[in-house]
Amino acid sequence: MSKADEVIETIDAGDFSDVDRLIQESLDQDDDQTKFSLAETLLSRGLSVQAKTVYEHLLTLYPDEGQILSRLAEIAVSDGDSDKALNYISQIGPDSPSYAENLLVSADIYQSQAMYEVSEQKLLEGVRKYPDEDVFRFAIAELYFDENKFSKAIVFYNFLLDDGIDEYSGISLKMRKASSLAGMGKYEEAISEFEDLNVIELNEDAQYQLGFLYNQVKDYNKSISTLEKLLETNRDYPTAYVVLADDYLNIKNNQQAFKYAQLGLNLNELDEKLYETAFDAGIAYSPDEALKIITKGIKTVEHPLTLLIRLSDFYITHGQYQNNLDLLSGVDTNNNPKLTWNLAKSYFETDDMAAAQENIGLVFDDFKDNLDYLNDMIEILRSSGDEQALKAALQLYLKQDPDDEDKRELLDQMR
């Protein structure tokens, strides 16, 4: 029995106390092929530290052996030492039988360092140099997929699919193709691909993507049936609630939309979209609860600007001007024209004319083509007594809506 066999037997017995000594004896006594087989076995069992010891010993005997260099590079990658891995890889030349591994490992290293163009070059070289190696076509497709270069990814997924390869490394290539089509905005084609997936391929993520795509093409009922089926098997799939709530809101089933938005918030209280949907759905039949939810959202999410605008608009349209002033008290509205406009209206309705005129003027460039804005500006300027500004606002308004007789009569009175 070789010392290498003793090493494996000891490991199989669960006794690691003497492994390092036995490995050293194998290095001293076993032939080189046995040592290499030992290293391969150790690496396959996840014992990379021990495997590294054997490979480094073999490298001193065969410093140009590409397979040894490649294995040491793989270990260095797993150890997070990219520089050392690249040093090993750089020693493997194009004529080496291990050059294919060189290209794959180096591509992986460069991708991990966000050097995607270099990684792409390595993989494309592999595609050209080893046209029968499916691994390169798969790897380049995955690289493009990760970079959201979906049209390029589809080319290589199709190469594999055309060769009858539906799955690679546990990944469904049909699902990857469908996801790529969705990423390109080709929703109908993507739906067709998803619908062709078998039961195993149509896993939870695929079901979610299909439900989302139905939502995007406004087939809300199919989206609902798909996502509710998903939730039957996994109630803790948070993004499904976002789409379901939106589906029900679009078919005007506010009660169901409100329910799913609330359920989703129980899983993820930081989802701004769920607060919006809960508010929009609930305000019709449970306004107090809807107001509580959006108020909580404003206090909870990191960037609540959209929610602030939603609630501010609600207060304005319902004549709750003091509530709007209270809401925006202490909020920096300078970077949001809509909130500044809402402030101007609230100040006007609460008789603070100076603040109303100041704020309505701040957003003139943003809304000068908006007749509702110009109408509010005219009302504020009429109350402020600024006739010159009022006349200019009336002229601008009538330029856009020359048939408004009331505004025409007001302008005529000023001449």
Supply the pLDDT for residue 411. Answer: 86
Q: Which residues contact 269 (CB under 8 A, 6 or more apart)?
A: 300
Residue 384 vs residues 234, 259, 327: alpha-carbon distances, Å: 60, 47, 25
Q: Which residues contact 174 (CB under 8 A, 6 or more apart)?
A: 161, 166, 193, 196, 197, 201
DSSP codes, 138-152: HHHHHHHHHTT-HHH
- Tens of pLDDT, residue by residue over 29-85, are 889 899 899 888 888 888 888 889 998 899 899 888 888 888 898 888 888 888 888
> Which residue numbers in the chain have pLDDT < 70?
415
Q: Report the C-alpha gap between 301 and 268 in whole angstroms.
A: 10
- Tens of pLDDT, residue by residue over 157-186, are 999 999 999 999 999 999 999 999 999 999
Supply the pLDDT for residue 67. Answer: 86
Domain 220-296 belongs in CATH node 1.25.40.10: yes
Supply the pLDDT for residue 97. Answer: 85
Supply the pLDDT for residue 108. Answer: 87
Q: Report the C-alpha gap between 22 and 413 in whole angstroms.
A: 106
Please tell me the number of Cα atoms within 13 Å of 56 on its side-chain side: 11
Q: What is the largest CA-CA distance in the chain?
A: 113
Record the tokens describing residue 252, joined without a space. 């005007």
Supply the pLDDT for residue 415. Answer: 67
- Where b means 16+ CB within 10 Å and e means fewer, 163-202 reads eeeeebeeebbbbbbbbbbbbbebbebbbebbeebeeebb
Residue 243 vs residues 222, 277, 348: alpha-carbon distances, Å: 12, 10, 39
